[in-house]
Amino acid sequence: NMAIRELKVCLLGDTGVGKSSIVCRFVQDHFDHNISPTIGASFLTKTVPFGQELHKYLIWDTAGQERFHSLAPMYYRGSAAAVVVYDITKLDSFQTLKKWVKELKEHGPEDIVVAIAGNKNDLGDIREVPMKEAKEFAESIAAIFIETSARNAVNVEELFQKISKQIPPLQNPDVESNESFKLTQQPPPSTRRCC
Partner 1 sequence: MASEQLPSEFDVVILGTGLVESVVAAACSRVGQRVLHLDRRSYYAGKWASFTFNGLLSWIEEQSKITASEEHDWSSQLEDGEDLIGLTTGDVSQVTNLQVFNYTSEEEEQVPSLEEEAKEDEEEDEGGADQTPAGETQEEGAPSSESEVKEEINTPAQKSQPEKSKKRLTYAELLKEGRRFNIDLVSKLLYSRGALIDLLIKSNVSRYAEFKNVIRILTCRHGNIEQVPCSRSDVFSSKLLSVVEKRMLMRFLTSCLDRDTPLLYQDFAERPYLEFLQYQKLSENLQHFLIHSIAMTTPDTPTAAALAATQHFLKCLGRYGNTPFLFPLYGLGEIPQCFCRMCAVFGGIYCLRHSVHALVVDKCSSRCKAVIDSTGQRISCSHLVLEEGCFTQTAPPTRCVSRAVLITDGSVLPTEAEQQVSIVTIPSESPVRMVELCPSSMTCIPGTHLVHLTCQSVGSAFEDLSPVVNRMFRTPDSDHPEPRPEVLWCLYFNMPEGLESEGGELPPNVSVCLGPDGSLGHDGAIAQAELIFQKILPGEEFCPPGPAPEDILYQGEEPDASPAQPGEEPEASSSQPGEEPEASSSQPGEEPDTGTSNQGEEPEASSSHQGEAEASPTCKGEESETSPSQQGEEPDASSSPCTEDSDTCPNQLEDGTQG
Ligand X SMILES: Nc1nc2c(ncn2[C@@H]2O[C@H](COP(=O)(O)OP(=O)(O)O)[C@@H](O)[C@H]2O)c(=O)[nH]1
CA-based nearest residue to 140, from 101, 93, 95: 101
Among 149, 159, 163, 164, binds ligand X (CB under 6 A): 149
Tell me how far apart the alpha carbons of residues 131 and 60 are, in angstroms, rounded to a whole number.
26
- 74 sits near ligand FAD (criterion: CB under 6 A): no
Task: Report the nearest approach of ligand FAD to the CB of residue 181 (Å).
Answer: 16
Report the C-alpha gap between 115 and 195 in whole angstroms. Answer: 51
Binding span for ligand X by CB under 6 A among 1-9, 48-56, 120-128, 171-179: 120-128
Q: For ligand X, which residue of 115, 150, 159, 163 counts as binding (CB under 6 A)?
A: 150
Mutual angle of helices 19-28 and 156-166, in 10-degree steps: 90
Q: Which is nearer to ligand FAD, 182 or 193 (CB)?
A: 193
Contact flag: residue 191 with ligand FAD (CB under 6 A): no
Q: How far is CA 64 from CA 26, 93, 170, in A?
A: 19, 16, 33
Q: What is the DSSP string of 98-117?
A: HHHHHHHHHHS-TT-EEEEE
Q: Which does 43 bind (CB under 5 to 8 A by kind): ligand X, Mg ion, partner 1, none?
A: partner 1
Task: Read off the amino acid at residue 17.
Answer: V
SS3 165: helix
Shortest distance in whole angstroms from residue 16 CB to partner 1? 10
Return the bridge partners of 117, or none. 85, 146
Closest approach, Cβ 137 to ligand X, in A, equals 19
| Residue 21 touches ligand X, criterion: CB under 6 A | yes
Number of residues near partner 1 (by CB under 8 A): 61
Of residues 33-62, which lie at the interface with partner 1 (CB under 8 A)?
34-47, 54, 56, 58
Please pick, from the candidates 51, 67, 139, 165, the single residue that binds partner 1 as defined by CB under 8 A.
67
Give the chain's length.
195
Task: Indicate which single residue of 1, 33, 52, 169 sits in contact with ligand X (rule: CB under 6 A).
Answer: 33
